[in-house]
Chain A
């Protein structure tokens, strides 16, 4: 058993536990996108960064991959962590603005702007689907190809995979596939109201043929400001 200190609290966990799991055990929320129980940790989305060590030698690491070490000092929401996390979310938003999961994250973390040139990618390369396919479905049908900005997901040579059973596990875990309500804002603006249940803007003329199931939409709230 190992004892480490998270946000000032001691926690004792088994060897091999990750910092993320230890923090969850204490109930500290750490946002993640590429992490899922049952799949191996990967460390791609960098949302789960936490600060370890003591200043000035402290550094940020991804908690989902960092193993708990005896005597480790961890802060899950220091100013440095929050700043980095916000920037990561802003980057995610710039890449994949239509994802409901990312919209929710932005809303939750108070990211109200997106200063990058808007892209519309449908993938953030978190690798959940790849791991789902290989680790849970035992299919190994899809994987990463290329590197850098040419990195992409798919089957080898883009040929339909013979081992794919069309189980849909890849789509089930995808955080980027779910679409968001766009409201009447320009696409650059961030709607962050996806925690809502009633339609807020049906009365508005622009939305007569659209269903929105959230209220009061944060987009409207922001507009009021």
Chain B
């Protein structure tokens, strides 16, 4: 190709290229580094082969481009002009796609399927793409990076031509200034201003640099632009050179981007061949050439002065500014450095005009920004969004929300120099200034999503580890400061941290921020500072309680099943015993930690299984609850004799416990073991509390509760039934009766009301009352057509329970959002629907209809899903005019439960502090209320909660009351509960089950259980149980294996600290 000698020649070439283009479909295969890694090269090979084989070369075209952004679904294929998008294409399917495109067909089975199971054909209709404004990324779809013709055909270098035609550098600078374009490298310096400063420098040699030293972990937008559309960067630099009078250009790209380097080299050569680079560009007399410099991979070389040093061949160390590079840069000559994305934006901006560019985004933050959205999110990939978009829109709409429905906790922006933004601030608009204010930075655009299983201490530690290696080491405070911050964070993650160290960490971080020379050092403490700012509580949990709630810090977690259990049950241990056939041993292990083994084996929400390592990375967690059930069904409780540490005598102080639910009984039991006498006051006729009020019989037969309670009660525990707080006794009367400590554990027995007039009409029951009436007295309250309002577990329980009652015809569950948003367990909803419960979603009750003092129906209003709240949950929005009436004979209200706190108010002379939601305020560390000697535990403190949490609270209350009565400090630091008993494994861990599938618990089938109150879940067979136990990975062995030398304490030279 001959050089283009003038601008006209460029235009005529563009025209002729466009004229040659046949209106045939194009198959586009994105083959950036990410695409190639996931198999795009194979697709290209097969596509070529098929096109030749089927003689389609004149009928369709194949285009290989850079990455389009949807990394999660690579390798993908895009077919234009229809815009059909095929995700995760296999080699076999590629051949089918070629054939289908030739016949203008769509392969429905290969299309993208969204969350709701609908197939979406066109790329732009897919939610991931729909929410974006793809100015730069969409251009990449038009261009084969190693064929300049495709770039020219798509209108490339027209912006340069239009700039050259005007012959007015100041116009370009004014245009850039009025577009409001700011540097995309992170700091957001106005590009126009930088260029103006460079243009003012009176030197004959001036440099322009494209900073492509992209080094943030988890960020790769520059790479994708470099790989996919290198000419757009060259064009941007040419425009910049014309505007500023720069004579030489440098692209500084890291050597770890081989494909980007190759494509850039090709692009530079082609541009020179076409006369678009070099001397006398397009015959206008304007000359500019660009050189390529490869960086050796030091993160700090992204800092401009270090980058200049590196280009000059010196060690990549920053130096003091001023003088700024724009005054004194490469070889002492004025130099302007801009990021890849900025350069790419320049050509795009000139093309669309400054006014239109400025219209995108918000004032002061114009245009679009590419983010690499990675981490614990469904749709990972590159997203290009207008500035000012809210974080929640990126995460929940484009990103598709969390993986596996684990709550998203924070998002980290800006890489190692950035910070974490907590989920509660997801309303924040993404712009340079707002992120800075929130303690993070825009950075080059990395966005790492973290969920509840990400430990923030660990994240900060990771970034510090990165920075201590990547600091250049020149500034003492940066080099040593990052090392010391890492050291402290490591101490904290190992449970050796102190509160003093937390303060020191903060002080040090602030000093490092203040006293270092370059941007790296000044922003290096950001991960630490933002963690301390937003997640200080989590850090303090590590320091004081020695707990890592995300189950990441190994030295605090031990075996995750054990640390996940609120009561600290050594699940690994009893599973190991089951494997060995030692069932009584297993029972003892369970019973030691939890006085309600049979209850929990049926109704526990099993946090142990949620955190089981066998369940990570697509595996299936060990069925720990089913194994517990297996043991408790088989072993007689009498085989366990609890270990007593104290025996009461005549002078032992007595404890009053109000409420005989799991929290109260557990506290009484553990107090008894410690040698205290206690009296339990129960309002109802028999002890059991919430166990009777909140759990349906088909899940937990009342008999099981009764037996379990009988096995707990002993001579130290006196139960007084039919004694209600406020009516029969008060907290003052208890204290004057000589009870030295009082524990309030009355549960949450009060269903919240709908707040509609006529709610006391007969036929309307709160779910608690409804369940309790049956469990304790066998009264079936429901009849006819039954409606249940609510979407939580108690609503589903009530619905399933109602279905089983004799006089019931139908049961309908009314919920204000959709099934996907229901807080109840998915398997419970599934079972309810299987049994015949009708789900009516997106409705709100408006009016209660009654006739002759009896409920006849309820009027509902339909909703639609509205915008999301900061937590990502869509809010229901009423649709006026959609009222409808459901005729109902019974309505069960199960929207939420609270405590009957009126009785507490009535029963204490000095007010016991309560929260707004009606729970008792306690010091979470000591469970002490504001009244001396009065403790509270269980649902009355937390609101409706699980059995195992109540058991844990009861245990803790016993410890606290013991400390209180014996006069020791209540508040004591926690200890990490690590496995310490060695149970010899049978066979290698994880062995025992060839196919590795989780044991299935036998169920009573739907037909049989629909009208029966009998228990639904069965017990595992011995064979199944032992096989299941054999699947355990035995995380404990790491800590207990006797051959392993004890983890060496870190050697501290000289002194013991």
Contact = CB atoms under 8 A, between A and B. Distances in A.
Interface of A: 41-46, 49, 59-62, 65-67, 69, 80, 83-84, 87-88, 91-92, 94-95, 115-120, 124-127, 144, 146-151, 186-188
Contacts of A42: 474
Q: 5 nearest interchain CB pairs?
A: A151-B473, A65-B320, A87-B511, A148-B469, A46-B515
Interface string B483-511: 11001000000000000110010011001
Given A115-B500, A147-B473, A120 B1054 contact: yes
A153 B599 CA distance: 66
Interface string B701-713: 0000000000000
A103 to B, nearest CB: 16
19 contacts: A41-B320, A45-B476, A46-B475, A49-B515, A61-B320, A67-B322, A88-B476, A88-B515, A91-B481, A92-B476, A95-B480, A120-B1054, A125-B474, A144-B473, A147-B316, A147-B472, A148-B469, A149-B483, A188-B1055
Contacts of B481: 91
B97 to A, nearest CB: 48
Contacts of A120: 1053-1054
A124 B300 contact: no
B590 to A, nearest CB: 42
B479 interface: yes
Contacts of A60: 514-515
Instruction: Indicate the member of A43, A62, A84, A148 with the most B CB atoms within 10 Å.
Output: A148
Contacts of A94: 480, 484
Contacts of B471: 147-149
A113 B1053 CA distance: 18
B472 A118 contact: no
Given A43-B474, A124-B476, A147-B300, A91 B514 contact: no
A91 B484 contact: yes
Given A62-B320, A117-B487, A147 B514 contact: no
A88 B468 contact: no
Given A62-B517, A88-B511, A118 B477 contact: no
B161 interface: no
Nearest to B466: A148
Interface string B813-846: 0000000000000000000000000000000000
B2 interface: no
A187 B1053 CA distance: 10
B1057 interface: yes
B516 interface: yes
A112 to B, nearest CB: 15
B82 to A, nearest CB: 51
Instruction: Indicate the member of A44, A80, A83, A186 with the most B CB atoms within 10 Å.
Output: A44
Nearest to A87: B511
Contacts of B1052: 117-118
A66 B320 CA distance: 7
Contact of B480 (A65, A91, A147): A91
B467 to A, nearest CB: 8
A26 to B, nearest CB: 21
Nearest to B1056: A186
Contacts of B322: 66-67, 69
Interface residues of B, number: 41
B298 interface: yes
Contact of A149 (B316, B468, B1054): B468
B469 A149 contact: yes
A99 B477 CA distance: 18
A211 B320 CA distance: 44
A80 B507 CA distance: 12
A151 B1053 CA distance: 21
Contacts of A59: 514
B476 A125 contact: yes
A178 B515 CA distance: 26
Contacts, number: 122
B315 interface: yes
Nearest to B491: A117
Interface in B497-554: 500-501, 504, 507-508, 511, 514-517
B470 interface: yes
Nearest to B475: A46
A46 B516 contact: yes
A117 B487 CA distance: 9
Given A61-B320, A149-B479, A186-B1055, A125 B514 contact: no
Interface in B670-693: none
Contacts of B315: 144
Contacts of A84: 511, 514-515
B484 A44 contact: no
A187 B1055 contact: yes
B1053 A116 contact: no
A118 B1052 CA distance: 8
Nearest to A34: B476
A146 B298 CA distance: 10
A149 B320 contact: no
Given A148-B467, A148-B482, 8 more contacts: A43-B319, A44-B474, A45-B476, A83-B511, A116-B484, A117-B1057, A126-B476, A149-B473
A119 B911 CA distance: 55
Interface in B1004-1057: 1052-1055, 1057
B966 to A, nearest CB: 35
Contacts of A92: 476
A45 B474 CA distance: 8
B605 to A, nearest CB: 42
Contacts of B474: 42-44, 125, 127
Contact of A125 (B467, B470, B473, B516): B473
Contacts of A144: 315, 473
Nearest to B322: A67
A42 B320 CA distance: 9
Nearest to A115: B504
A95 B481 CA distance: 11
Contacts of B316: 147
Contacts of B487: 116-117
Given A88-B511, A116-B484, A150 B476 contact: no
Interface in B338-393: none
Contacts of B514: 49, 59-60, 80, 84
A144 B477 CA distance: 17
Contacts of B504: 115-116
Nearest to A33: B476
Interface in B436-480: 467-477, 479-480
A62 B507 CA distance: 19
A147 B484 contact: no
Nearest to B484: A116
A151 B316 CA distance: 13
A117 B467 CA distance: 19
Nearest to A49: B515
Contact of A43 (B320, B482, B483, B508): B320
A170 B489 CA distance: 36
Contacts of B472: 147-148, 151
Contact of B479 (A125, A187, A188): A125
A46 B481 CA distance: 12
Contacts of A65: 319-320, 517
A80 B487 CA distance: 25
B479 A46 contact: no
B498 to A, nearest CB: 10
B476 A87 contact: no
B479 A151 contact: yes
Nearest to B512: A87
Nearest to B468: A149
A35 B511 CA distance: 21
A46 B477 contact: yes
A68 B187 CA distance: 25
B186 to A, nearest CB: 18
B812 to A, nearest CB: 61
Nearest to B503: A115
Contacts of B483: 149
